[in-house]
Amino acid sequence: MTTEVTELTGSNTEGKHLGLALLVISAAQLMIVLDATVVNVAIPTIHHALHFSLTNLEWLITAYSLTFGGLLLFGGRTGDLYGKRKMFMVGVGLFAVASLAGGLAQNDVWLIITRGLQGIGGAIAAPTALSLIATNFPEGTERNRAMGVYAAMSGGGGALGLLLGGILTSYVSWRWIFFINVPIAALILFLAPRALNESETTSGHLDVPGAVTVTGGMLALVYGLSNASSHSWTSTSTIGFLAAAVVLLIAFGFIERRSREPLMPLSIFKNRNRAGTYGMMLCIGIALFSMFYFLTQFLQNVQGWSAVKTGVGFLPMTLGIIVAAILTSRFIGRVGIRIPLIAGPAAAVLGMLWISRLTPTSHYLMVVGPLVLIALGMGFAFVPLTLTAVSRVTPDEAGLASALLNTMQQVGGALGLAVLATIAIDATKSKLASLHSTTSMAQKIATTHGYTTAFLVSAGIVFIALLISIIVIRVPSDLTPEELAASPALH
């Protein structure tokens, strides 16, 4: 990570063709971010096409977010050791092959495996893409412009993914949400050696045991939690996977303590403020991923929306996050980070409580109101969370501190979805049994009850984030102009 941070702050290397280099990097980032949301609106269609069970359905999201989040630090390290352009191309290539395989999937296991492979490709390509901005764009206006475009791709990718996923699913085929990545990746791979300079490499080694144990441990944990809904908490398979998760995660802790170049130095958590921000982002990731998943199911399965209508319906959410983040970055220098760091989670809690009151006959206004409130809350929180995580860190920790926020969001989303899907399925079964009916309306009532129960639990989890902000985080009321300017959240 040290090399990456040095380059981000001090490199003056100029790329071969700056406009073309920016096109390649931003296209790759858009493709990776887009794929985190493009599947959401296609889930009901894929569910019926490949006969997914309700338990396995969540793995369409979880397999990607777990491998992507779990290997993000590992992927960045490969760029330091073997060359950022080379590993960028490896990541994009793996992403393309996995996308092609996903589009050709004939059953649920096949598609879940390809989603995991997409996550691995994204975990290599995403951090190296960011680093390539520093190795190809000189400091000053050119680099700031490139970082601005990169940030726009990161922010706008979510909205475009929902919309594009809806259009492709409704008018072409759900398979094209995967196939479309192939020509884009091919173009990126063709242009990359012509547009991008290679970076210098560093000596060292990859913490492969750390990467394997933490990712394997998280996969076992999520599978054990998901298995409880289809079997039981006391079943042999559930206990076995949960036990394996504990063993692997403990092993990861020992490996990181003893490794000369650990994937995730545990000392990074000793700082109270950074540990607090990671806890908050974990909670926010749980709520955000789960809200997208369950609300998509509600709009299509209960209210009968098409995939494209669902994609359009989510646009206020993503646009709200972008607008709130931009506004926060502009006024945070005057009001400090304390106000948005508390107001953001508080607004998200209210939004989650509001959306937990949905019924099968709720009008869209009952959906868009809480969506906007949640979006504003999340947008207000993202900038101060990043500022707090990287505030006054040493140069060799800056890259790690920032990257861990993304990791926590992805891993939190995967874990939260596993737990909340189990809760939602159990709540649905219980409600259906209490209705003593199997009519279509009874099914919708029970299903909606499952989703709203998940929203209610999500509200409690975001409330924990609010408590962490109030009790744990102790930051100055404002940051210096230099610290604000140096923050990656504001570029």
Same domain, yes or no: 247 and 316: no
Same domain, yes or no: 242 and 337: no
Same domain, yes or no: 420 and 465: yes
Determine the Cα–Cα distance for residues 371 and 316; give it in Å rounded to an integer. 7
Higher pLDDT, 390 or 460: 460
Same domain, yes or no: 177 and 247: no
pLDDT band at residue 144, thresholds of 50, 70 and 90? Answer: low
Q: Determine whether 81 is exposed, middle or buried from the number of CB atoms within 10 Å of its CB (0-12, 13-18, 19+).
A: middle
How is 207-235 classified by DSSP, letter by letter?
A: -HHHHHHHHHHHHHHHHHHHHHHHS-TTS
Same domain, yes or no: 157 and 292: no
Same domain, yes or no: 417 and 288: yes
Same domain, yes or no: 341 and 414: yes
Give the domain range for residue 437: 269-491
Please name the residues in contact with 262: beta carbons below 8 A apart, sequence gap of 6 or more.
Answer: 207, 210, 255, 256
Same domain, yes or no: 324 and 243: no
Summarize pLDDT for 351-389 with one digit per residue, the tens: 999 999 999 999 998 999 999 999 899 888 887 887 787
pLDDT score at 270: 82
User: How many domains are there within the chain?
Assistant: 3
Same domain, yes or no: 21 and 159: yes
Question: Which of 62-76, 134-148, 166-180, 293-307 is the least confident region?
Answer: 134-148
pLDDT score at 487: 45
SS3 content of the chain, % helix, strand, coil (to 5): 80, 0, 20
Summarize pLDDT for 272-318 with one digit per residue, the tens: 888 899 999 999 989 988 888 899 899 999 999 998 898 889 888 87
Q: Does the structure show a pLDDT above 70 at 398?
A: no
Q: Does the structure show a pLDDT above 70 at 77?
A: yes
Same domain, yes or no: 63 and 167: yes
Mean pLDDT (the chain) is 83
pLDDT score at 84: 85
Q: Give which of 360, 358, 384 is closest to 371, Cα–Cα.
A: 358
End-to-end CA distance of the chain: 19
3 state DSSP class of 58: coil
Determine the Cα–Cα distance for residues 365 and 170; give it in Å rounded to an integer. 23
Residues 116 and 222 sit within 8 Å (Cβ to Cβ): no
Q: Does the structure show a pLDDT above 50 at 23?
A: yes
Summarize pLDDT for 440-486 with one digit per residue, the tens: 999 999 999 999 999 999 999 999 999 999 999 886 544 444 444 44
Q: How many CA atoms lie within 13 A of 404 on its CB side?
A: 25
**Helix (H) and strand (E) counts for the chain?**
21, 0
Determine the Cα–Cα distance for residues 259 and 261; give it in Å rounded to an integer. 5
- Say which CATH number the domain at 150 has: 1.20.1250.20
Q: Does the structure show a pLDDT above 60 at 245?
A: yes
Higher pLDDT, 468 or 327: 468
Same domain, yes or no: 400 and 475: yes
Same domain, yes or no: 405 and 478: yes
For 32-40, what is the mean pLDDT? 82
